């Protein structure tokens, strides 16, 4: 179906950040690479290096004519930046790096791997990744119906997340993706959907409406409505110029060139194709420079400027050599068509055959190349050679009625020359080539009307700018006169009040000296305070380190003592070991972290539960399920919470699954506002059904109750297909901090 849209615009494989069709950082030009490399070598910290690596990744990823090696270099920089930002807990740089990795995988058509990266990013970064995936599923060459449905599903997911996170501009991007997929699906009512979206752009503060108008242009192409194509293409250019966002200028001008070409306005098509080539020389697009060059030469051929077209084509091929098989097909067909129009059939045939051979490597139907070869052989009176190519072109996928009509006309010529008059009459009957002069005149009138409107708007804008310049000059003259009057007044004041000014200057100077001395004292005190704070933080870290080492020493002593104990004594020592390890692990996390006051609970609980699972040897039939949000807790709340988890897990491991029956222990920690809920459940026999072990008044349960009171919470014990312990408490407001720096994976399974 996409070939219907672009019969005259050969589809080039998607490569690079295509304009701003989805949220992405602005491209960095290649000229900045030497400066960035110098900054990278002189960077003083890993985080500074990560920022520069992201810029280099951007530079290589957004090269207008990138090669596979450029993408590999961009991927290396992105992965290095991701590692450094994760190590130093910089979520913004980490998300940016992962988005670049996914974008590069998408360029390599590895969309499955790119989609698997969704859990690695959070919040707005996840929206950006969903929009990028939606775009790339839709703009694969000859996107299938399932791929379009996948694109819509991803865009809808991005839209819902944008609404939940109050991101109206990203919601508009998602709606544009959905509407563009509807265009490809030829869904009725899509034009009304896009026009309504223009209104939503205004309310959302989304001024880059050129991306909506571009989709409307594509809709006109699908419908074969050339007047609609021209109208919306001109609106696209107007919006692009008003916003100053020219990243997709190549695509926008190429669509306008295609619209002019279809309306037989070949001079305009040449000009807009030239502007498209200039745009692609700066930024990559959905299409590419070979497409614009092909449109340029096709328009020049229509104007019978064949020698100029040939010189241009050869110059383009030399300046921008083909980088892939699709480029080869486009370039060979372009040159072959010019030689055919010049009636130099012996020179045209080798180029067409090379294009045909190159197209075979792509495994496509080569509809256009088959038509070109068939037309060549018809014009050179080699009708037997023409027939198989024309038949393949006629039965190829994604052709338009006018295209098939022209093929029938060529087959009519073949059958007439071979004496197959009945077949020739049938082909002539089916010929629907659009040669009706009334339709051509109507198209030209529509074009001229829209062009006049566009030029009128340009003149009106020019007049407005001139009026604004005149008003600005008048304001400038008034300002200068006022400045002269003020200067005269100042001179008179200076002459009459010299002594007074000298006195004021003396007082100001004295005040300045006093203030400067005071500032020096304050600066010195601030430096002393900063040094004291740094020393205090290192001392606190050292205290935590020594506490952790002392606790490990106690653990070692208990382990030595345990080797001489049995039964209840050994069990008591093991329970004590678990409690001490819970506190020891917290102190270890504190001295390893930049923040010595808080603990990131999802990482701590995961590591602690893994230790508990491994400490009960021979109990591999019991599985753990963790659903922990990345919540930062103060030490005063983290230690009681860890001891509660220790008591609950230990009781479940000992008593919930008698006779080594299989089971599951689930631990979840969630935050709602400032209130945090800890839920510990198992699917064992339940507290009331246990013949031994934890009773209602046991030490473990009493300890959990006491620890819950210590964090000012409440605890509830219930039997519901096992034991369920619910603890609710408020997070200490003095230690509430941003929690986006943690790993976004919130559920793990240990065996």
What pLDDT sits at residue 544? 54
Q: Can you tell me the mean pLDDT for 587-594?
A: 63
Q: Can you tell me the mean pLDDT for 686-695?
A: 54
DSSP-assigned letters across all residues of 475-504: HHHHHHHHHHHHHHHHHHHHHHTHHHHHHH
- In whole angstroms, give the CA distance from residue 103 to residue 132: 7
- As a whole number of angstroms, the longest Cα–Cα distance in the chain is 115
- In whole angstroms, give the CA distance from residue 652 to residue 659: 13
- In whole angstroms, give the CA distance from residue 143 to residue 414: 35
Smallest CA-to-CA distance from 669 within 638, 636, 722, 631 is with: 631
Domain ranges of the chain: 497-596, 599-750
Q: What residues contact 411, with CB distance under 8 A and at least 6 apart?
A: 387, 390, 391, 394, 423, 424, 427
pLDDT band at 100 (very low <50, low <70, confident <90, very high): very high
pLDDT band at 55 (very low <50, low <70, confident <90, very high): very high
> Are 241 and 204 contacting, i.e. CB atoms less than 8 angstroms apart?
no
- 555 vs 517, which has greater pLDDT? 517
> Are 544 and 590 contacting, i.e. CB atoms less than 8 angstroms apart?
yes
Q: Can you tell me the mean pLDDT for 590-598?
A: 67
657: phi then psi, degrees, rounded to nearest 5:
-130, 75
What pLDDT sits at residue 434? 39
Q: Can you tell me the mean pLDDT for 276-302?
A: 88
Q: Can you tell me the mean pLDDT for 75-86?
A: 93
Q: What is the DSSP secondary structure assignment for residue 10, as one 8-state letter?
A: P
pLDDT band at 534 (very low <50, low <70, confident <90, very high): low
What pLDDT sits at residue 303? 93
pLDDT digits (tens, 9 = 90+) for 151-207: 999 999 999 999 999 999 999 999 999 999 999 888 999 999 999 999 888 888 888
- In whole angstroms, give the CA distance from residue 643 to residue 641: 5
Smallest CA-to-CA distance from 226 within 402, 393, 396, 367 is with: 402
- Average pLDDT, whole number, for the chain? 80
What pLDDT sits at residue 3? 32
pLDDT digits (tens, 9 = 90+) for 143-162: 788 999 999 999 999 999 99
Q: Can you tell me the mean pLDDT for 375-388?
A: 91
pLDDT band at 501 (very low <50, low <70, confident <90, very high): confident
Please say if the pLDDT value at position 546 is more than 60.
no
- In whole angstroms, give the CA distance from residue 105 to residue 101: 6
Please say if the pLDDT value at position 658 is more than 90.
no
- 485 vs 680, which has greater pLDDT? 680
Please say if the pLDDT value at position 590 is more than 80.
no
Q: Of all helices (H) and strands (E), which one includes residue 538? A: helix 498-562
pLDDT band at 559 (very low <50, low <70, confident <90, very high): low
Instruction: Work out the percent of the chain whose per-residue pLDDT is above 70.
Output: 77
> Are 15 and 64 contacting, i.e. CB atoms less than 8 angstroms apart?
no
What pLDDT sits at residue 749? 35
What pLDDT sits at residue 579? 66
Integer angstrom CA distances of residue 387 from 341, 397, 412: 20, 18, 10
pLDDT digits (tens, 9 = 90+) for 421-453: 888 888 888 875 434 433 454 555 555 555 545
CA-based Rg of the chain, rounded to a whole angstrom?
Answer: 37
What pLDDT sits at residue 69? 87
Smallest CA-to-CA distance from 239 within 269, 213, 202, 274 is with: 213
Cβ neighbourhood burial of 304 (10 Å; 0-12, 13-18, 19+):
exposed
Cβ neighbourhood burial of 188 (10 Å; 0-12, 13-18, 19+):
exposed
> Taking the domain 599-750, which CATH number applies?
3.30.565.10
Q: What residues contact 707, with CB distance under 8 A and at least 6 apart?
A: 640, 641, 643, 644
């Amino acid at each position: 179906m996409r070939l219907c849209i672009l019969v005259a615009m050969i589809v080039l494989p998607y490569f690079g950040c295509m304009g701003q069709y989805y949220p992405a950082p602005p491209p960095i030009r290649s000229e900045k690479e030497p400066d960035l490399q110098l900054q990278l070598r002189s960077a003083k910290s890993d985080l500074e290096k990560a920022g520069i690596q992201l810029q280099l990744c951007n530079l290589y990823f957004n090269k207008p004519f990138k090669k596979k090696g450029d993408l590999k270099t961009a991927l290396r920089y992105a992965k290095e930046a991701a590692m450094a930002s994760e190590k130093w807990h910089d979520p913004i740089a980490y998300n940016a790096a992962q988005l670049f990795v996914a974008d590069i995988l998408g360029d390599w058509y590895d969309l499955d791997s790119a989609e698997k990266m969704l859990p690695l990013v959070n919040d707005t970064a996840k929206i950006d990744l969903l929009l990028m995936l939606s775009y790339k599923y839709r703009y694969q060459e000859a996107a299938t119906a399932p791929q379009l449905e996948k694109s819509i599903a991803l865009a809808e997911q991005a839209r819902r997340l944008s609404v939940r996170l109050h991101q109206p501009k990203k919601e508009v991007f998602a709606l544009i993706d959905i509407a563009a997929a509807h265009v490809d699906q030829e869904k009725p009512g899509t034009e009304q959907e896009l026009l309504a979206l223009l209104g939503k752009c205004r309310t959302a503060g989304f001024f880059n409406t050129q991306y909506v108008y571009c989709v409307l242009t594509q809709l006109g192409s699908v419908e074969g409505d050339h007047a609609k194509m021209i109208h919306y293409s001109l609106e696209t250019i107007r919006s692009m110029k008003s916003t100053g966002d020219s990243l997709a200028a190549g695509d926008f001008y190429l669509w306008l060139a295609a619209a002019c070409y279809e309306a037989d306005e070949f001079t305009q098509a040449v000009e807009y194709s030239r502007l498209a080539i200039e745009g692609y020389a700066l930024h990559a697009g959905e299409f590419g420079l070979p497409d614009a060059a092909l449109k340029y030469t096709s328009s020049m051929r229509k104007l019978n400027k064949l020698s100029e077209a040939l010189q241009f084509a050869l110059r383009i091929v030399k300046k921008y050599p083909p980088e892939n098989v699709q480029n080869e097909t486009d370039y060979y067909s372009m040159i072959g068509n010019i030689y055919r129009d010049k009636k130099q059939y012996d020179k045209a045939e080798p180029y067409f055959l090379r294009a045909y051979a190159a197209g075979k490597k792509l495994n496509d139907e080569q509809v256009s190349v088959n038509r070109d070869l068939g037309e060549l052989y018809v014009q050179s009176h080699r009708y037997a050679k023409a027939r198989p190519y024309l038949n393949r072109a006629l039965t190829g996928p994604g052709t338009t009625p006018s295209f098939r009509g022209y093929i029938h006309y060529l087959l009519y010529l073949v059958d007439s020359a071979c004496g197959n008059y009945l077949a020739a009459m049938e082909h002539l009957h089916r010929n629907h080539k659009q040669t009706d002069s009334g339709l051509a005149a109507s198209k030209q009138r529509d074009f001229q009307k829209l062009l006049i409107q566009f030029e009128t708007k340009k003149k009106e804008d020019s007049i407005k700018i001139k009026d604004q310049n005149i008003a600005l000059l008048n304001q400038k003259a008034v300002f200068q006169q006022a400045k002269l009057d003020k200067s005269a007044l100042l001179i008179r004041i200076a002459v009459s009040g010299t002594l007074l000014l000298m006195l004021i200057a003396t007082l100001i100077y004295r005040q300045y000296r006093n203030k400067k001395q005071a500032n020096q004292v304050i600066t010195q005190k601030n430096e002393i305070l900063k040094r004291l704070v740094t020393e205090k933080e290192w001392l606190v870290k050292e205290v935590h380190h020594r506490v952790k080492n002392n606790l490990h020493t106690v653990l070692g002593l208990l382990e030595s003592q345990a080797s001489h104990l049995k039964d209840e004594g050994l069990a008591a020592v093991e329970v004590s070991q678990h409690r001490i390890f819970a506190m020891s692990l917290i102190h270890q996390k504190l001295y390893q972290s930049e923040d010595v006051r808080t603990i990131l609970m999802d990482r701590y609980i995961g590591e602690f539960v893994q230790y508990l699972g491994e400490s009960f040897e021979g109990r591999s039939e019991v599985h753990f399920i963790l659903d922990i949000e990345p919540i930062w807790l103060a030490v005063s709340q983290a230690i009681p919470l860890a001891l509660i988890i220790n008591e609950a897990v230990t009781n479940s491991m000992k008593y919930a699954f008698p006779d080594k029956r299989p089971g599951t222990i689930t631990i979840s920690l969630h935050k709602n506002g400032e209130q945090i809920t800890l839920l510990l459940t198992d699917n064992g026999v339940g507290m009331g059904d246990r013949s031994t072990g934890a009773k209602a008044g046991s030490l473990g349960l009493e300890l959990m109750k006491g620890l819950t009171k210590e964090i000012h919470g409440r605890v509830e014990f219930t039997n519901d297909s096992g034991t369920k312990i619910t603890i609710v408490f408020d997070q200490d407001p003095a230690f509430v901090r941003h929690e986006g720096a943690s790993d976004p994976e919130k559920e793990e399974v240990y065996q």
